[in-house]
Amino acid sequence: KLSQRLEAVASYIPEGSKMADIGSDHAYLPCHVVKKGVVPFAIAGEVVEGPYQSAKRQVAMEGLEEEIIVRKGNGLEVINDEEIDCITIAGMGGALIASILEDGKDKLGPTKRLILQPNISAISIRKWLLENGWELMAEEILEEDDKVYEILVAEKGDPYRPYKELHKELLLGPLLVEQNSAVFRNKWKSELDNWQRIVSQLEKAAESEETSQKRKELIEKIQMVGEVLNH
Ligand code: SAM
């Protein structure tokens, strides 16, 4: 059975699309959606030998070798001339996901939808999307086994609808701010507590250019996030 996290990622894959799952590990996601008949064809990409072998084994075990091609390679390099409609990248840090997209820009031509699930630092992805003309269509936040995950869905389109408060929306997610869910509130409440702890430590530390700059930044973030939570 697929994790709730990957189940949520799968729910954004448009029916009938040709997909590529980058950093696929066991290829659980492509196997699941191909078996369900959601997609007719998938590429599972892996850069590390062990996970690449796991993906091949899983696909063979499920008898899906006709539908799923497992390739070893870095990021979007595993896409050749297949017209891939939809790319999923899940279970990595946001900065790594953004760098995979940046390095693979020339492979994104036919791709209509990106479904990205960063474990941390979703802000790096939102920045990349904004700078590269991808529109954020949906955002979801969920908790599973005491971990919080965000899912960002983007489609090629007009650069993002006007941001009212750019920094806040990039950090928190414009659609997640609107949803204002319990998981979202808890996540940022605990970040806030964390920042507050650091600020009080910095206040005790010897003052330097660096500590006062850091403190100023944290106080700004605390105010920004505090406003959203108190809203
Ligand atoms: N996508 C699966 C999931 O969400 O459950 C697996 C997540 S696993 C934690 C991250 C995988 O990404 C690892 O197997 C790692 O080898 C792979 N990976 C990391 N950087 C990569 C890159 N540049 N290109 C392809 N795969 C990469």
pLDDT for res 159: 58
Ligand 1 centroid to residue 23 C-alpha, Å: 3
Cα separation, 104 vs 106, whole angstroms:
6
Residues 80 and 143 grouped into a single domain: yes
Is the interface score ipTM higher than 0.85? yes
Residues 52 and 116 grouped into a single domain: yes
30 lines ligand 1 (CB under 6 A): no
Contact 33, 40 (CB under 8 A): no
Rg of the chain's alpha carbons, rounded to an integer?
A: 19
pLDDT tens digit sequence for 200-228: 999 888 888 889 999 999 999 999 999 99
pTM here is 0.96
174 lines ligand 1 (CB under 6 A): no
Ligand 1 centroid to residue 24 C-alpha, Å: 6
pLDDT for res 20: 98
- What are the DSSP calls for 151-164, one per residue? EEEEEESSS-SPPS
64: CB partners within 8 A, 6+ apart? 31, 34, 35
Ligand 1: atom nearest CA of 75 is: 24
Cα separation, 47 vs 223, whole angstroms:
41
Q: How are strands ordered across the β-sheet holding 18-22?
A: 68-72, 41-46, 18-22, 86-92, 113-118, 147-156, 134-144
Out of 1, 47, 147, mutate this one to test ligand 1's pocket (max ligand atoms within 8 Å of CB): namely 47
Q: What secondary structure letter does DSSP report for 145? A: T
Mean pLDDT of 117-144: 95
pLDDT for res 181: 97
Residues 129 and 72 grouped into a single domain: yes
Ligand 1: atom nearest CA of 25 is: 14
78 lines ligand 1 (CB under 6 A): no
Residues 56 and 150 grouped into a single domain: yes
Residues 24 and 130 grouped into a single domain: yes
> Domain limits at 215?
183-230
pLDDT for res 231: 79
Cα separation, 211 vs 205, whole angstroms:
8
Residue where a domain stops, chosen among 162, 194, 219: 162
Ligand 1 centroid to residue 141 C-alpha, Å: 20
pLDDT tens digit sequence for 67-81: 999 999 999 999 999
CATH number at residue 71: 3.40.50.150
Contact 150, 176 (CB under 8 A): yes
Q: Which residue has the higher pLDDT, 162 or 222?
A: 222
The total of structural domains in the chain comes to 2
